[in-house]
A and B are shown apart, each in its own frame.
Chain A
Amino acid sequence: MNNRYDRTLKIIMYTFLGICAFVALYPIVFAVMTSVKTPEEYVTNKLGFPSKLTLDNYSYVWKNGNMLKYFMNTLLVIPAGLVFYLFICVSAGFAFGRLRFPGRLPLFLSVLFLMIFPQMLLSMQIFQICRSLKLVNNYFGLILVWVAYFSPFGTYIMTTYYSTVPMSLVESARLDGAKLYQMLFRIMVPIAQPMIIVITIIGTQSMWNELPFSMLLLQNADMRTITHSLGMLKGQYGLKDPILMAAILCAASVPIVLFLFFQKQITMGSYSGAVKG
């Protein structure tokens, strides 16, 4: 009796998971299959496997669609943004998490409070600020805005991490006479390495997928990032689906590679909101 219940339960569970996984993966599988079909075949054979593989769609978006340029733009602006983002998250996270100072809690709570506001709410004023500082069509402006918008969450993760580091470590570093930034870079950065990898991935993902700010601040079409160019592509009607899918997958390449190599860290990053039951 009990055995049968267990077996039925198992069958139900596998079916349920199978359906969920199919629904989650199918659109992506469909995108991959479509991107290697010729536009002619796509019209007659929408769902099936391609009868002949073609990479023409990719070479089209790569050459005619300027994807290479956008890819290089992204590879320039995101690493630069990350350096800045990491510096801010690690130093503020260390201060909030491990040091004690007047005003710590109210300041930390204000940082958390400011995390929620949507990009569109801020966009008009940010645009005005950047215009008066000559930061429109300037990667430095976009980086500043990105870091301001994304670092509160990174700071939150680093803060929860550093609050678990024993105080004695800070004190012994002090006794050694280490200066502030020496202590930060020689002791606090190395011990937090796993968490720094986590926030690096979160930061890369956030910046890679960001649309509203880049749309407003990079008005020069040559400066677009890859995701931004994708957001603009759908406006060009008459672009065939297989070509569109090839462009989408070019933009998806880096997130997918990140996922394949850093699954553990990405999972850990999502944990950080939920460590307590």
Chain B
Amino acid sequence: MKRKLSKKNTELFEPYMLITPLLILLAVFILYPVIANIVMSFFKWNGIKKPEFIGLENYAEMFKDEKFWGSIKNTGILLLYIPLGVILPLVVSAVLREGLKGWPFFRAALYLPNILGYVIMGSICNIVFRKTGPLNNILNALGLQNLAKDWLMSPSLAINSLGFVYGVWLRLGFGCIFFLAAMSSIDESLYDAAKIDGAKWWKTFFNVTLPSIRFSIEFWVVLSFIEVLARAFSFIYTFTNGGPGFATFTLEYGIYTSGFVAFKMGYASAWASVLFVFCAIIAVFQVKLMKREAE
């Protein structure tokens, strides 16, 4: 009897034993940094000397900083590319779903940029988009000289190139695989019924495909917000380096330059706190969706 009780007891602790390593790592390297970061945003701190409490001064300085408002505006422009970044993979995966001859090749081709990752693709795209790069060479060869531009040197072209390349093109392959997976669970009889009704392709797309994968579309929208707000640093760093000037500067980039180039870590923490608020809002949506799926 006694032995049985102690066995029951160890069983009670086992789950905690299994999750403790993960929780410790998360507490030290994620939870603590997030909280400490908010605290440090009220201090003047260069990362080496003792921090000095200055109240809201960092925030006052930030709200007067043109670069801050510029980075908010740039983030806004990048977010404008999300609708296209949702629609395009939806259409492509609906086409791939038709099972045309050779469709796995197209799927693999589209996915390849995602495998290579942001640093590699950013470095390649940097060369492709240069004034003397292949993109302009192709446009010239096609007789479209008017369209050949100095993509990375004009502020508005640079941020829009970034929006299209990062927000739409680079994530197309991942989006296709994501939506194809969702579409594979649609009941095939729905399509047969639409076919018997003589429905055209677009009609079926809007009336059958889209409503059946609503959940996945919502999830993809949330993922897209995360990618733009919280995962873009490596790509921007290698693609435009935040330039020209501050044209592709984002909040992440601001944290990097104020914190690790100018060593104003207290000030950078104020930027990071703004980013924290945005991320926390998206995270709430994401957790809600994941919870719905896990149940």
Contact = CB atoms under 8 A, between A and B. Distances in A.
Interface of A: 2, 5, 9-10, 13-14, 16-17, 20-21, 23-25, 27-28, 30-31, 34, 46-47, 87-89, 91-92, 94-96, 99-101, 104, 107-109, 111-129, 144-145, 147-149, 151-152, 155-156, 159-160, 163, 174, 180, 184, 205, 208-212, 216, 227, 230-231, 233-234, 241, 244-245, 248, 251-252, 255-256, 258-259, 263, 266-267, 270-271, 273-277
Contacts of A91: 18-19, 21-22
From A117, A124, A241, A256, residue with most partner B Cβ within 10 Å: A124
B106 interface: yes
Q: Report whether over half of chain B's contact residues are helix, strand or loop; otherwise say mixed.
A: helix
Contacts, number: 304
Contacts of B141: 47
Contacts of A259: 108, 111-112, 115
Given A24-B169, A129-B28, 20 more contacts: A20-B172, A24-B109, A24-B173, A27-B121, A96-B19, A111-B22, A113-B284, A115-B283, A117-B30, A118-B279, A120-B252, A122-B29, A126-B29, A159-B294, A180-B17, A252-B120, A259-B108, A259-B111, A266-B111, A276-B216
B234 A209 contact: yes
Interface residues of B, number: 113
13 contacts: A14-B100, A24-B109, A27-B124, A92-B19, A94-B18, A107-B23, A115-B283, A121-B33, A126-B29, A129-B32, A148-B25, A266-B115, A270-B181
B178 A273 contact: yes
B260 A117 contact: no
From B25, B185, B241, B268, residue with most partner A Cβ within 10 Å: B25
B259 to A, nearest CB: 5
A208 to B, nearest CB: 7
Nearest to A121: B272
Interface of B: 10-12, 14-19, 21-23, 25-26, 28-34, 36-37, 40, 47, 91-92, 95-96, 98, 100, 103, 105-113, 115-121, 123-128, 132-134, 137-138, 141, 169, 172-174, 177-179, 181-183, 185-186, 198, 200-201, 212-216, 219, 223, 226, 229-231, 233-234, 237-238, 241, 252-253, 255-256, 259-260, 265, 268-269, 272, 275-276, 279, 282-284, 286-287, 290-291, 293-294
A121 B275 contact: yes
Contacts of A112: 283, 286-287, 290
Nearest to A114: B30
A210 B120 CA distance: 11
A209 B233 contact: no
B178 A155 contact: no
